[in-house]
Each structure stands twice: as C-alpha cells, then as structure tokens.
C-alpha cells in the first residue's frame, strides 16, 4: 500500500466541462457560441472523453463556420433547451394540437425521439424545482437567461401541476423505452400532460371528498350515518325506532322483521365500538352483516369465512355486549351470507366499498365530461377506453 497511489475519478459539472471545451476551441482559433459549447457539455453528461468526442464531430461538420447551438443540435440529433421550453409552453397552454405538431416538427428535423423525451423530463425536473424553490438557481444546469424563462413557466404551472407533469411524463418515458412503438406512447403522453390537473395536498383532497359525499348524500345515493335516538322523559315508553336509510328503502318483502323498540344501526355501532381496543375483533365485526334480529336472537352473516371464524372465537363476548347494550338477554348466530336476502344492516366494510364505488363512478363521469378530454376526443375521433382514478 505504501507504493500505491489512489485516484478517484468523478464526472465533471457541466459548467466546468463547458469551460474546458471553450478553452480548447479558443486555442484552436475556432469561433463558437457559448450556448453551443454548453449543449455539447450537457450531452457529455460530465465525461471529458465523451465531450471531446462530441466536440470533434461538431467541428468536423461545421468546418470553418461558427459553432452555433442549432448546428450542435442538428449534428447530435438532440433537443436544445429552446425546443424543450416551447414544448412545455404548449403543454401549459393545454393546446393538444400544437403540442403534437411541435413534437412532429422536431422529429422531422432529425431530433432523436427518446433523447428528446429524456431531455424534456430533465426540463420538467427543473420546472418542478423552480416551482417549489424559486431561488434554487444554483441547483440547475442552465444559464441565467434560461433560468429566467423556466421560472416564468414555473410560475404559470405552480408546484402542484409541475409535480403532476413530471410524474406523468416519467411514466411515459419509461414505457416508451420498452415499447416497439415509442412515438405513439410519447404522443399520448403529451396529450395526458395537456389534460393534467395539479396534485393537491391531502387535506384539500379530503375537503373535496367530504363535499362530494355531502352532495351525493343529499341526493340519496350514499348511506347516511344513523342519527342518535331522541331523549325521552323518565318512565315514558321507549319510542319505536327504524332502520336508517338506505336499508329500509331497499328492504325486500322476504327480509326478517325489525326488532321492536330498537335502532339496529345504533345498537350495532355501539357493539362494534366496544371492541375498538381489540383490533382483531373490531376488524372481524366490520365484515359482519346483521341478517336477522328477533326474539333476543341476532344473526350475523359474513361473505368471508375467515371473518366468520374470527368472530366465532369471541362470540360469547359479543353476546354479553349485546345484552348489556340492549338490556335484553341476546344470543348470536353466525352464518355465511347467501346473497339472496338483503340484510337488515350492511357491514361497515360493505358500506365503505359502496361509498368508494359511488365516488369512483362520480369521478370517472366527471373525467369523461372534462372539457380537455372532450376536446381530445373530438381531435382524434376516439373515446377513452379506460379512466384510472387515484
């Protein structure tokens, strides 16, 4: 080891490599534009050897003429930052037709499709960085003029939309790299970008979901949370309660009779909450449907055998909880659901799944009616085959 020397070779920053290439061109008395050298340095990705090789190709092509950014882009078949800026500008304007024309024009000029796709991903990265941290110029490999232009686009996009654009295009580039028809995927990826909506914080999404549930609930399409029973004077006979909507509204004639002087939903809610400190029991009861309730007997039915077996292990405890809450000795019967008779009370899991399905259907409907989706349909003469919601 005493006779060994260790050298750690690292890739150079683009600015350092550009300065090195500029010195070489100056020594060789070759006229050049600074933007041309910066573009070569970016394509070399920090490798001095690759940078010199690319520079040699460009000099051989240009001959005695000045090296310009356009010549470098033409020789290397790359997308310069001006092209990427214009493409992003069309995307933010939500102009699908002009965005696709811009892509086609670049390909017709000889720009490598996948190289441009990766370059555009890097541009969207810069866009997102500046949307999140406006004074992050030192984090980007760009000139002051380029950063100012990118900042203007970042202000137009905002952080939420910039993040959405980067994520969507990253998936499109990854899929196109594995496809036999990358251009088709990238074109559809650009259409997707033109229709992209900003990613909202979780709190904002929850607020929107609550408003949607209120709107759907007012239309009678979502099950409402049962109201607490009205207080009654001491000694007064208990008032007969009813099963909360939508169970009564859809209860078939073959369903078992309702228990007198009881609110099934409220009683069963209190039973489930009594096991809240025991997650395994609470989870099993969330899968239970109240199939019958008569004469001190409650029938619980399950669509999953595992949940039934779990409940069977602590059935005596459920019976004690029912007895204590109702004031009447109550026994519990367990069975698998046949699906032929509607239960008195849906399971908690079933109600949540139904609400989620209704919400997804509503969101898909809103997506299909979105002006940008309809505009894309008119432009391409096709209808969306599938709509995915987060």
Q: Give the span between the Cα atoms of 95 and 160, in whole angstroms.
A: 19
For residues 56 and 94, state if they share a domain.
Answer: no
pTM summary value: 0.45
pLDDT at residue 237, rounded to an integer: 42
For residues 93 and 182, state if they share a domain.
Answer: yes
Instruction: Provide the domain count of the chain.
Output: 3
> What's the CATH number where 278 sits?
3.30.300.180
For residues 36 and 113, state if they share a domain.
Answer: no
CA-nearest of 12, 79, 88, 11 to 39 is: 79
For residues 61 and 101, state if they share a domain.
Answer: no
For residues 96 and 161, state if they share a domain.
Answer: yes
Domain membership flag for residue 377: no
pLDDT at residue 100, rounded to an integer: 93
pLDDT at residue 91, rounded to an integer: 92
Q: Give the span between the Cα atoms of 4 and 327, in whole angstroms.
A: 88
Asked if omega into 246 is within 30° of 0 (cis), the reply is yes
For residues 93 and 189, state if they share a domain.
Answer: yes
CA atoms within 13 A on the CB side of 136: 16
Tell me 236's DSSP state.
P
Domain membership flag for residue 300: yes
pLDDT at residue 217, rounded to an integer: 59
Domain membership flag for residue 384: no
Helix locations, 178-246, DSSP H: 182-194, 202-218
CB atoms within 10 A of CB 161: 21
For residues 49 and 95, state if they share a domain.
Answer: no
Q: Of 346, 369, 385, which residue is a domain's last?
A: 346
CA-nearest of 116, 33, 35 to 77 is: 116
For residues 85 and 171, state if they share a domain.
Answer: yes
Assign 337 to helix, strand or coil.
coil
pLDDT at residue 174, rounded to an integer: 92
Residue by residue, pLDDT tens for the chain (390 residues) are: 678 888 888 888 888 888 899 999 989 888 888 888 888 887 787 788 888 988 888 888 888 888 888 788 778 777 677 888 889 999 998 999 999 998 998 888 888 889 889 889 988 988 888 888 877 777 777 767 778 888 888 888 877 788 889 999 999 999 999 888 999 999 999 999 998 877 666 556 566 666 666 666 554 443 444 444 444 444 444 444 443 433 333 333 333 444 444 577 888 888 888 887 777 777 888 888 888 888 788 889 888 888 888 888 888 888 888 888 888 888 888 988 877 778 888 888 777 777 777 777 777 777 777 777 777 777 777 676 666 665
Q: How many residues does the chain have?
A: 390
Strand ranges of the sheet holding 297-302, from the earlier edge strand across to the other edge? 289-294, 297-302, 331-336
What is the residue range of 51's domain? 14-76
Domain membership flag for residue 2: no
Q: Give the span between the Cα atoms of 204 and 202, in whole angstroms.
A: 5
Q: Give the span between the Cα atoms of 306 and 29, in whole angstroms.
A: 81
Q: Of 52, 76, 100, which residue is a domain's last?
A: 76
């Amino acid at each position: 080891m005493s006779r060994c020397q260790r050298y750690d070779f690292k890739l150079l920053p683009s600015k350092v490599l550009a300065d090195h290439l500029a010195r070489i061109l100056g020594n060789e008395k070759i006229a050049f534009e600074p933007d041309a050298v910066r573009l070569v340095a970016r394509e070399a990705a920090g490798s001095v050897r690759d940078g010199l090789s690319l520079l040699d190709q460009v000099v051989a092509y240009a001959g005695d003429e000045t090296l310009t950014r356009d010549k470098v882009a033409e020789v290397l078949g790359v997308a310069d930052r001006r092209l990427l800026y214009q493409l992003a500008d069309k995307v933010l304007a939500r102009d699908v037709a002009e965005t696709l024309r811009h892509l086609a024009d670049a390909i017709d000029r000889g720009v490598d499709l996948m190289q441009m796709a990766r370059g555009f991903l890097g541009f969207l990265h810069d866009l997102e960085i500046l949307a999140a941290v406006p004074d992050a110029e030192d984090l980007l490999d760009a000139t002051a003029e380029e950063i100012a232009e990118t900042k203007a686009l970042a202000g137009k996009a905002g952080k939420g939309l910039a993040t959405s654009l980067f994520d969507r295009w990253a998936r499109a580039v990854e899929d196109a790299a594995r496809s036999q028809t990358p251009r088709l995927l990238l074109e559809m990826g650009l259409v997707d970008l033109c229709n992209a909506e900003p990613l909202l914080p979780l709190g904002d999404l929850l607020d929107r979901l609550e408003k949607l549930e209120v709107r759907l609930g007012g239309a009678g399409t979502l099950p409402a949370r049962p109201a607490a029973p009205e207080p009654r004077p001491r000694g007064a006979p208990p008032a007969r309660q009813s099963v909360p909507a939508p169970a009564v509204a859809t209860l078939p004639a073959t369903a078992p009779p309702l228990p007198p002087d009881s609110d099934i939903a409220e009683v069963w809610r209190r039973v489930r909450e009594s096991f809240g400190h025991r997650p395994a029991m609470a989870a099993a009861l969330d899968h239970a449907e109240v199939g019958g309730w008569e004469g001190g007997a409650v029938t619980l039915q399950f669509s999953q055998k595992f949940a039934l077996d779990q409940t069977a292990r602590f059935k005596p405890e459920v019976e004690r909880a029912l007895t204590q809450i109702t004031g009447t000795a109550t026994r519990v019967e367990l069975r698998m659901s046949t699906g032929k008779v509607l239960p008195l009370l849906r399971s908690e899991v079933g109600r949540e799944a139904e609400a989620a399905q209704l919400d997804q259907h509503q969101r898909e409907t809103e997506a299909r009616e979105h002006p940008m989706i309809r505009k894309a349909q008119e432009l391409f003469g096709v209808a969306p085959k599938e709509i995915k919601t987060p």
